[in-house]
Amino acid sequence: MTHAFSFLPAKRVSLSGTVTLTALLLATLCLPTHAAHASAAEEGTPGNTPVERGQYLTHASDCEVCHTAPGGMPYAGGRAFKIPGMGVVYSTNITADKQHGVGAWSDAEFVAAVKQGVSPGGKHLYPAMPYPAYSRLSDQDVRDIRAYLATLPTSASAAPKNNLRFPFSIRSLMIFWNIINGPTSAYPDDTSKSAQWNRGRWLVEGPGHCADCHSPRTLTFGLSSSKAFGGNTLNGWRIYNISSDPKSGIGGWTEAELAQYLSTGHADGHGTASGDMADVIGHSLRYLTPADIQAMVTYLRSTKPVSTPQDSVTFRNVANGDASLPQNSRGARLYASACAGCHLPDGTGRQSSFASIAGGRSLGADNGRNLIQVLVNGTGLQTATGVQIMPHFTGGGLSNRDLADIAAFVMTHFTTAQPHDLEKQVEQTVKERD
Amino acid sequence: MPTLMINGQPHSVDVDADTPLLWVLRDILGLNAAKFGCGIAQCGACTVYVDGKAVRACNLPVGLVGTRAITTPEGLESADPVVQAVKSAWVALDVVQCGYCQPGQVMAAVALLRTTPNPTDEQIDSAMSGNMCRCGTYMRIRAAIHHAAGELA
Ligand code: FES
Ligand code: FES
């Protein structure tokens, strides 16, 4: 079995953020406290056996996306994480292979790696592995994950060696990082909130580790708590603001729309998940129970609003019908011939709801950053009825200028955005793709 | 194993839900009027209707069609006045060159005239730009659509 999206260009993933060594070394803050008991919010995990619970938690924690190389065997590791200024870290083989995987580890060693970021022999993991979030899981949860992984095929291949610049190649530096940003711990339920909210908080902040992408990073590459869920820019994509802010976050979405989006990757009037979020839906969120999706929605809607102007989009009402597209600009004519076939002139999607782009944030946000990513790299979403693909449009007769013109048309036809320098943006995105 | 409603007939087919509709039509059911051109929704040769809306069958997983009504070029009713007008306009203006793209062109033209009975050049270009013709019959297609619209008026 290979990854569903092996047809998409293999791309290195990078974590952006500035890490200053000085900041790491100067950190002499107090050690985090470790509460010993797990939250009652965990009790909602379905499954009758450790393996069943483990499978559910493996999905909820989205282990597969990072621990699988593009086109590679699931959980065999090897996906590259490029960290600007630092180098490349590869995800590890977490199949039960005794030599190259985690098969020879004790349960306690596995738990320490997942929750504290320390693998056997005292080796400190780099925080590309979201162990601070996973420390919200109970030890039993992590043992169940291991029990499930042990039922899967093993891979006898080792992940490539990390390629980090000095001094980041010194793993023990992570001890300092952990002091400032490192493992939190399980936390008790907030008794002033409903059980659903507590379950949602645990799913979002624990296994789901949503903030790892959706929160901006601090100077030491830790997660910002003051701007939690306020969005970030990773791998050249805008990771959208998912705070409760009505304009730039998800505050304007209904509960039903959020639930539809998280469980299927598409919400009517908001478009379809693409890029890394499509992977998160396809490999993780679509396996969660409706009750858990609802719990996540409840928690996400309660977060502190964070305003980020680049994520706010105002949409226009456009005329519908095949005959309605203007023919007065290059971008409009290109859209009519290359895009309207699936997306329709009014963006409502000819083929299926997944092709509906109407209301999608990418159409206007952040000077078209994600729109251009999708045009240049394509995207695929695993759904209950097969993989939905948006092909990439590079190398097939459309020039960078053509793509920029299409993007400009889409942005101004469907939204009130005022795009600038799109051709440069396309060039940059194409360069990063190669 | 989805059951598809094609040209008014139910068809049970044993395929994966993500099989493109065009594969089912051509390879399994032998309905060959919808053509395979590009396979990525860029040329329009495979155009069929789902609930009356023109879609690209090459890029439409059957699992997403459900029980909605599919019409292929074979299923265009000759008795329908719009279909009749388009067909006779196509003959009168000798639109066809090699013919490969033409089932898709006719499907798109009929769909256009149903919603926009008297289209302008711009509206024709907008509606027909998703249908490529390697032989370059575009000018004759545009003229034939005007011709059919005149017949129907
Ligand atoms: S074959 Fe379907 S659009 Fe070209
Ligand atoms: S008539 Fe030959 S492709 Fe259109």
DSSP for A251-306, please give it. TTS-HHHHHHHHHHSEETTTEE--HHHHHHHHHTGGGS-HHHHHHHHHHHTTSPP-
d(C-alpha A134, C-alpha A111), whole Å: 10
Angle at B133 between CA B131 and CA B137, to 5 degrees: 115
Asked if residue A373 has pLDDT above 70, the reply is yes
Instruction: Determine which of A89-93, A216-220, A328-332 has the lowest per-residue pLDDT on average.
Output: A216-220
Note the pLDDT of residue A171. Answer: 66
- The set of protein residues with a Cβ atom below 6 angstroms from ligand 2 is B 96-102, 133-135, 137
Atom of ligand 2 nearest to the CA of B135: 2
A319 interfacial to chain B (CB closer than 8 Å): no
- Amino acid letter, A205: E
Question: Cα dihedral angle (A162, A165, A170, A174), rounded to 10 degrees?
Answer: -90
Which of B50, B59, B100 most suits a substitution to test ligand 1, by most atoms within 8 Å of the C-beta? B59
Dist. CA A198 → ligand 1 center (Å): 49
Residue A421, helix vs strand vs coil: coil
Asked if residue A9 has pLDDT above 60, the reply is no
Dist. CA B95 → ligand 2 center (Å): 9
Angle at A187 between CA A181 and CA A176, to 5 degrees: 15
Q: Which residue has the higher pLDDT, A124 or A312?
A: A312
Mean pLDDT for all residues in chain A: 85
Q: Which residue has the higher pLDDT, A30 or A320?
A: A320
Angle at A185 between CA A182 and CA A188, to 5 degrees: 150
Residue-wise pLDDT for A226-252, tens only, equals: 889 999 998 899 999 999 999 999 999
Note the pLDDT of residue A176. Answer: 64
Q: Let me know how long chain B is.
A: 153
Chain A's closest residue to B110, CA to CA, is A322
Note the pLDDT of residue A1. Answer: 37
Residue-wise pLDDT for B80-136, tens only, equals: 999 999 999 999 999 999 999 999 999 999 999 999 999 999 999 999 988 999 999
Local confidence band at A35 (pLDDT 50, 70, 90 cut-offs) = very low
d(C-alpha A152, C-alpha A81), whole Å: 24
List the CATH code of the domain at A330-432: 1.10.760.10
Asked if residue A432 has pLDDT above 50, the reply is yes
Q: Which residue has the higher pLDDT, A240 or A328?
A: A240
Which of B107, B128, B133 most suits a substitution to test ligand 2, by most atoms within 8 Å of the C-beta? B133
d(C-alpha A41, C-alpha B66), whole Å: 38
A8 interfacial to chain B (CB closer than 8 Å): no
Report the percent of chain A where pLDDT is more than 90.
Answer: 59
Residue-wise pLDDT for A281-295, tens only, equals: 999 999 999 999 999
Q: Is B45 in the pocket of ligand 1 (CB under 6 A)?
A: yes
Alpha carbon distance, N-terminus to C-terminus of chain A: 26
With residue B108 as reference, give the H or E element that holds it. Answer: helix B102-115
d(C-alpha A370, C-alpha A66), whole Å: 21
Local confidence band at A184 (pLDDT 50, 70, 90 cut-offs) = low
Both tokens of residue A61? 């924690």
Domains of chain B: 3-75 (3.10.20.30), 81-152 (1.10.150.120)
Q: How far is B19 from chain A (nearest CA, A)?
A: 8
Chain B's closest residue to A354, CA to CA, is B64
Q: Let me know: does B50 contact B88? Beta carbons within 8 Å.
A: no
Instruction: Determine which of A251-255, A308-312, A396-400 has the lowest per-residue pLDDT on average.
Output: A396-400
Domain ranges of chain A: 38-181, 195-311, 330-432
Atom of ligand 1 nearest to the CA of B130: 3
Tokens 């493996």 belong to: A58
pTM of the model: 0.85
d(C-alpha A40, C-alpha A136), whole Å: 11
Q: Which residue has the higher pLDDT, A108 or A385?
A: A108
Ligand approaching nearest to the C-alpha of B90 = 2
With residue A377 as reference, give the H or E element that holds it. Answer: helix A369-377
For residue A203, give every residue at least 6 positions away whose Cβ sits within 8 Å of its Cβ, in sequence order, or none.
A60, A288, A292, A295, A296, A299
Note the pLDDT of residue B64. Answer: 85
d(C-alpha A274, C-alpha A280), whole Å: 10
Asked if residue A8 has pLDDT above 50, the reply is no
Local confidence band at A401 (pLDDT 50, 70, 90 cut-offs) = very high
Q: Which residue has the higher pLDDT, A255 or A184?
A: A255
Distances (CA, A) of A184 to A131, A137, A274, A382: 9, 11, 30, 33
Residues of B in contact with A341 (CB under 8 A): 41-42, 44, 56, 130
Using the beta-carbon criterion (under 8 Å), do B61 and A341 form an inter-chain contact? no
Distances (CA, A) of A1 to A7, A51, A155, A382: 14, 20, 12, 15
d(C-alpha A93, C-alpha A258), whole Å: 33
Distances (CA, A) of A107 to A111, A129, A143, A358, B77: 6, 18, 6, 48, 68
Asked if residue A27 has pLDDT above 70, the reply is no
d(C-alpha A273, C-alpha A368), whole Å: 15
Q: Let me know: does A423 contact A375? Beta carbons within 8 Å.
A: no
Question: Omega before A188 cis (within 30°)?
Answer: no
> What is the average per-residue pLDDT within A329-343?
90
Residue A30 assigned to a binding site = no
Note the pLDDT of residue A24. Answer: 39
State the complex-level ipTM. 0.82
Which of B24, B27, B32, B43 most suits a substitution to test ligand 1, by most atoms within 8 Å of the C-beta? B43
Q: Which residue has the higher pLDDT, B33 or A327?
A: B33
List the CATH code of the domain at A195-311: 1.10.760
d(C-alpha A17, C-alpha A221), whole Å: 6
Distances (CA, A) of A242 to A227, A229, A361, A397, A425: 11, 5, 12, 36, 24
Distances (CA, A) of A168 to A77, A87, A143, A165, A235: 21, 8, 30, 6, 20
Asked if residue A396 has pLDDT above 80, the reply is no
> What is the average per-residue pLDDT within B22-48?
95
DSSP A339-372: IHHHH-TTSS-SS-GGG--TT-GGGTGGGGHHHH
Residue A339 assigned to a binding site = yes
Identify which of A418, A378, A422, A370 has the alpha carbon closest to the alpha carbon of residue A400.
Answer: A422
Note the pLDDT of residue A167. Answer: 66
Local confidence band at A221 (pLDDT 50, 70, 90 cut-offs) = low
Note the pLDDT of residue A182. Answer: 61
Note the pLDDT of residue A13. Answer: 46
d(C-alpha A21, C-alpha A27), whole Å: 10
